[in-house]
Chains A and B, each alone.
Chain A
Amino acid sequence: MVTEKKVTLSIKELDAGFGRIRDLSVSIGKLSSGDWAEAEGPTPYPSLATLRNWDHTLLSRYQPFYMPFCDLCCLCTYGKCDLTGTKKGACGISMPAQQARTVLLAACIGAATHTSHARELLTYAIGRSGRDCGLDPGGNAIGVEAPVIRLVCGEKPQTLADLETVLDYCESQITALLAVTHTGQEGNYLDFESKVLHAGMIDQVGMEVADLAQISALGYPKADPDAPLAALGMGTVETNKPVILVIGHNVPPAVAIIDYLGRESLTDQVEVTGICCTSVDATRYSPRAKIIGPMSWQLRYIRSGIPDVIVVDEQCVRTDAFSEAVAAGTPFIATSEKNCMGLPDRTRDPADAIVADLFSGRAKGALILDPEKAGEVAVRVARAVMPARRNSSSAMSPEIIREKALDCTGCRLCRRSCPNDLAIPQGMKAAGEGNLSLLSALYETCVGCGRCEQACTQGIPVHSLIVGAAAEKIKNEKFVIRTGRGAIQDIEIRNVGGPIVLGEIPGVVAFVGCSNFANGGKESAEMSVEFAKRRYIVCTSGCAAMSIGMYRDEEGKTPYEQFPGSFAAGGIVNVGSCVANAHIAGATIKIASIFARRNLRGNYAEIADYVHNRVGAVGVAWGAMSQKAAAIAAGFWRLGIPVVVGPHGTKYRRMLLGRADHDADWYVHDQRTGEDVYAGPAPEHLFVAAETKEEAMVLVAKLCMRPNDTTRGRAMKLTHYIDLYQRHQGALPDDIPRYIRTTADIPVTLKSEITRILAQSDWKERPIPDPTLLARDAGKERTP
């Protein structure tokens, strides 16, 4: 059989001169799916337009509402073109198409970043464990080892080598998707949007490859609900030891540091600390590693002078990290070809020479593209420079803060450059008068971007003043986080699949993404705790997982100490770093497979339809900032899972919004009867920005409703939605009749009130469908 570049040779029995061969199978460039008997579905390895019908089904219900971030197109030399209103550009492109094109570009960047990262990790994992290393995300607890890959590619990967073929596919798709954005390619905004969804789906495949590879090769927790706790926060760092800071997302240099420390019996003598997902994965490798915080902690931690060496890899690394390190007198090592930072390539130099140069200050930084060498150099340099560094202090005293604040002219340019419009001028004025409380309060909501300093005409180090004023708070940043557990066990899916699909567990809420919060990371923690207390299943990953851990209840417990790490009602499940997001999508897919026994193999549209209509899952990316977050969201959208973002999320340029007031949009096919049935706006939106945490919680509760909910499940979901709405909006929601299908849906505690509302409206009882948006399934009987 030859398909594309893939060759499989199978010999049942061969008598040759040299002997007899039986059951020989050789695959080149194609993974072997072993004895996987599942029938192949209609769309293995889908290309750009394969799932176009499914996408357009979603997009006809959830229509894009564009909010251009710029009136112009600046992408070719015809331009700049003014696309205001109905004007078209020189190439003929309209504003809606241009916006969708820009969203596609963002999604491509995100998908390319995760997929490239996956390639790095896979190559590293193969180098470390061999091509035949089996995939092991959870031992016997995991039967469906790669739900996303099974669903999208129609393959059942078994070894690291199998993942190479999957990545080949991802890379080819991302290249084609990027080509779509060239001038004079796609012209229709909905077709651009379809390709955005394709990019999101590919992104999920790439992420799954990345995390499968690192879990299998590095011995991370394997689907363990009781994965160990790790230290979190600047206050946890033992500054009497040499301190190494790793920043980024690609863990091999951090692993090499930890391994070198182990080999040299130095594990207890050096602190390995990290920012962003590299640190999350470092704690999965060794829970002795410490997480400082999300990206917003970079400036403050580098400037603190605590790290003795900084090692950066890729993604979410401040591009001025090297110059900040130089200013702090901290030796700097870059380790990624994607992020060379202008440094000389010292990869082939002896470690001794690099250590000597960084120790003496002859070199401020080095590019070392060998993680093992980078690990050794980092440890040796940290130990060498630490004693002298501890003799000097970079801490900003209250007197210095006051002196510098007196230079403020009150021009307000700092505030006008601040993403969160923080009242910096007032803080500076008070600080100049000796009162640091206002500046200290800003620390809670500062995203650490440093734009205030760029704007200041007086050269005041505004961010450093804010951090200096909050010195006591920073000392008390001592928290714990449950290390990333990776996948969800099959038994957990069996236990909760029924209650989720029937609506009796009110929903699965995933808090993911970056830290561009409008009101601080505390809101992510508060929301996660609220939903865990309400017995939703709360999942989290990456920077959001860190933010959730950075707050304590009245008893001094972080959410990870208050709630179990199991995928069960009332759990808070940290799956791991950004790439571990694939496990959250994977859990929804596994519900279709393990609970409902649907075939996954190359069967995307049917499974997405299942998830969309039956699995009450919602993503919350409260501080989403990056293109990767855009791609992650797009992956959820194609599965029909809604995503809520914070107010900064409108800068992604478009929402995907349903119109609850358009009844015709909310009909589904009833698979039992073949009839089209009004199912209500469930879920109402696919991508929506909330203005406040309170609004977001109300939206999440509402977006967990699905057409398939049983009456008991719907009543429970309505109870949470109405309770949150009443608490935060001060009234009953006016859309209750849209969500009541029969009187049995009415929450018992609100029966008289809702019955009266229904009587005053034109509400009529309606059937609860066996729902699908796919016409071809109508009339077929299905298991639940």
Chain B
Amino acid sequence: MTSADPWQTAEVAGPKKAAVITRPAVVKAMIGHARHPVILLGNGAVSMGVGNRKLVDYLLDLSRAYRIPVIATGHINKALVERGFTNALVLPAVGAGQRIADPCWEGPEGKGPCDLAIIAGLPYPMAWTLLSGLKHFAPHTKTITLDPTYQPNATWSFANISEKDWQENLEVIIASAGGGTADV
């Protein structure tokens, strides 16, 4: 098995596959270059453990650290509200994908079309198909998945990594916010 195999072994996409995030600096740089990034937060982020915390907590830290608006899918908004995060845009994941793919969409904050979508916490096959839609129909948008499993349809994805590596990467990405432009 190579590190860039889809987590679900049969989910082979095609010629255009995600580059593997080998260093957290890649994510920091992508965010730094984006004008209107969004975080698309799937329901699984509530139950997915990362060390002693949940994925949702890391993603909210990421949102706050880089001031990135959040689109809440599934019914994760309730968990966000419970954590004091009350300004997420609530949409079905596929509805969010449709809007991100629209170059005229003004984004969650009305500032302009989304040029970077950071996606985590969706069921793997749902993220796979959603990222495929964005790969083909959102040429103005780059995508990063922060799940610990390789998603071939993203622009950038972690390989299939251990929870320990995942945690370290997330912590570095969050901690490096505001630390200047990363060297990719």
Q: A413 contacts the other chain (Cβ, under 8 Å)?
A: yes
B10, B15, B90, B126: which contacts A650 (Cβ < 8 A)? B126
A416 and B8 within 8 A (CB): yes
A730 to B132, CA, bound (A): 31
Q: B14 contacts the other chain (Cβ, under 8 Å)?
A: yes
Given contacts A689-B94, A695-B43, contact A650 B78 (CB under 8 A): no
Q: B173 contacts the other chain (Cβ, under 8 Å)?
A: no
B129 and A651 within 8 A (CB): yes
B74 and A694 within 8 A (CB): yes
Q: B161 contacts the other chain (Cβ, under 8 Å)?
A: no
A688 and B95 within 8 A (CB): yes
Chain A residues within 8 Å of B98, by CB: 63, 65, 655, 657, 659
Chain A residues within 8 Å of B148, by CB: none
Question: Which among A66-74, A248-256, A353-361, A626-634 touches the partner chain?
Answer: A66-74
A421 and B90 within 8 A (CB): no
Chain A residues within 8 Å of B136, by CB: 66, 68, 71, 83-85, 95
Chain A residues within 8 Å of B15, by CB: 71-72, 82, 84
Question: Which among B25-33, B52-60, B63-71, B117-125 touches the partner chain?
Answer: B117-125
Chain B residues within 8 Å of A416, by CB: 7-9
CB distance from B30 to the nearest CB of A (A): 19
Q: B16 contacts the other chain (Cβ, under 8 Å)?
A: yes
In B123-138, the 8 Å CB interface with A consists of 123-126, 129-130, 132-133, 135-137
B8, B9, B78, B126: which contacts A647 (Cβ < 8 A)? B126
Given contacts A84-B135, A651-B125, A655-B98, contact A729 B130 (CB under 8 A): no
A691 to B16, CA, bound (A): 26
Q: B82 contacts the other chain (Cβ, under 8 Å)?
A: yes
Chain B residues within 8 Å of A421, by CB: 7-8, 123-124
Indicate the member of B75, B101, B123 with the most A CB atoms within 10 Å: B75
Indicate the member of B90, B99, B139 with the most A CB atoms within 10 Å: B90
A71, A83, A413, A657: which contacts B95 (Cβ < 8 A)? A657
Chain B residues within 8 Å of A653, by CB: 129
CB distance from B19 to the nearest CB of A (A): 15
Given contacts A68-B133, A69-B132, A692-B75, contact A734 B126 (CB under 8 A): no
0 or 1 for each of B94-125: is its CB under 8 Å from A? (1 = yes): 11011101000000000000000000001111
A419 to B128, CA, bound (A): 12
A734 to B124, CA, bound (A): 28
A691 and B8 within 8 A (CB): no
Chain B residues within 8 Å of A83, by CB: 136
In A55-91, the 8 Å CB interface with B consists of 63, 65-72, 82-86
Q: A333 contacts the other chain (Cβ, under 8 Å)?
A: no
B92 and A688 within 8 A (CB): yes
A68 and B132 within 8 A (CB): yes
Chain B residues within 8 Å of A734, by CB: 90
Q: A690 contacts the other chain (Cβ, under 8 Å)?
A: yes
Chain A residues within 8 Å of B99, by CB: 659, 661
A695 and B92 within 8 A (CB): yes
0 or 1 for each of B75-89: is its CB under 8 Å from A? (1 = yes): 101111110001000
Please name the residue on chain A nearest to B44 by beta carbon.
Answer: A691
Q: B39 contacts the other chain (Cβ, under 8 Å)?
A: no
Indicate the member of A63, A66, A417, A653 with the most B CB atoms within 10 Å: A66
CB distance from A415 to the nearest CB of B (A): 9
Q: A518 contacts the other chain (Cβ, under 8 Å)?
A: yes
A413 to B94, CA, bound (A): 28
Q: A389 contacts the other chain (Cβ, under 8 Å)?
A: no
A650 and B130 within 8 A (CB): yes
Q: A698 contacts the other chain (Cβ, under 8 Å)?
A: yes
A728 and B78 within 8 A (CB): yes
A692 to B122, CA, bound (A): 10
A69 to B93, CA, bound (A): 17
B122 and A70 within 8 A (CB): no
Chain B residues within 8 Å of A65, by CB: 94, 97-98, 101, 133, 137
Q: A522 contacts the other chain (Cβ, under 8 Å)?
A: no
Q: B73 contacts the other chain (Cβ, under 8 Å)?
A: yes
In A698-731, the 8 Å CB interface with B consists of 698-699, 728-731
Q: A648 contacts the other chain (Cβ, under 8 Å)?
A: yes
Q: A733 contacts the other chain (Cβ, under 8 Å)?
A: yes
B123 and A647 within 8 A (CB): yes
A655 to B93, CA, bound (A): 11
A657 to B93, CA, bound (A): 11
A733 and B90 within 8 A (CB): yes
A691 to B14, CA, bound (A): 25
B7, B9, B13, B43: which contacts A692 (Cβ < 8 A)? B43
CB distance from B153 to the nearest CB of A (A): 9
Indicate the member of B8, B73, B101, B122 with the most A CB atoms within 10 Å: B8
Q: B37 contacts the other chain (Cβ, under 8 Å)?
A: no
B133 and A698 within 8 A (CB): no
Please name the residue on chain A nearest to B126 by beta carbon.
Answer: A647
CB distance from B43 to the nearest CB of A (A): 5
A157 to B135, CA, bound (A): 50
A72, A648, A689: which contacts B92 (Cβ < 8 A)? A689
Given contacts A650-B125, A691-B122, contact A85 B135 (CB under 8 A): yes
Q: B42 contacts the other chain (Cβ, under 8 Å)?
A: yes
A66 to B133, CA, bound (A): 6
A650 and B16 within 8 A (CB): no
Given contacts A66-B136, A647-B123, contact A691 B77 (CB under 8 A): no
Q: A455 contacts the other chain (Cβ, under 8 Å)?
A: yes
A659 to B99, CA, bound (A): 8
A69 to B125, CA, bound (A): 10
CB distance from B90 to the nearest CB of A (A): 6
Please name the residue on chain A nearest to B131 by beta carbon.
Answer: A67
Chain A residues within 8 Å of B43, by CB: 691-692, 695
Chain B residues within 8 Å of A66, by CB: 133, 136-137
A734 to B88, CA, bound (A): 11
Chain B residues within 8 Å of A733, by CB: 90
B75 and A689 within 8 A (CB): no
CB distance from A210 to the nearest CB of B (A): 32
Given contacts A71-B14, A71-B16, A417-B10, contact A689 B126 (CB under 8 A): yes
CB distance from A684 to the nearest CB of B (A): 9
CB distance from A517 to the nearest CB of B (A): 12
Indicate the member of A690, A730, A733 with the most B CB atoms within 10 Å: A730
Please name the residue on chain B nearest to A698 by beta carbon.
Answer: B75
CB distance from B119 to the nearest CB of A (A): 12
CB distance from B92 to the nearest CB of A (A): 6
Chain A residues within 8 Å of B95, by CB: 657, 685, 688
Chain B residues within 8 Å of A650, by CB: 94, 125-126, 129-130
A685 to B91, CA, bound (A): 12
Chain A residues within 8 Å of B132, by CB: 67-69, 71
A695 to B75, CA, bound (A): 5
0 or 1 for each of B133-168: is its CB under 8 Å from A? (1 = yes): 101110100000000000000000000000000000
B92 and A84 within 8 A (CB): no
CB distance from A697 to the nearest CB of B (A): 9
A730 and B82 within 8 A (CB): yes
A413 and B101 within 8 A (CB): no
Please name the residue on chain A nearest to B12 by beta carbon.
Answer: A70
A69 and B129 within 8 A (CB): yes
Given contacts A67-B94, A689-B94, A694-B75, contact A419 B14 (CB under 8 A): no
A661 to B106, CA, bound (A): 10
CB distance from A317 to the nearest CB of B (A): 22
In A507-537, the 8 Å CB interface with B consists of 518
A181 to B148, CA, bound (A): 39
Given contacts A65-B97, A647-B126, A731-B86, contact A691 B9 (CB under 8 A): no
A–B complex contacts, Cβ < 8 Å, 20 sampled: A65-B94, A65-B97, A82-B15, A84-B14, A84-B136, A417-B9, A650-B125, A650-B130, A655-B94, A659-B98, A661-B99, A689-B126, A691-B92, A691-B126, A692-B74, A695-B75, A698-B75, A728-B78, A729-B81, A730-B78
Lowest 5 A-B CB distances belong to which pairs? A71-B14, A730-B78, A691-B74, A730-B81, A67-B133
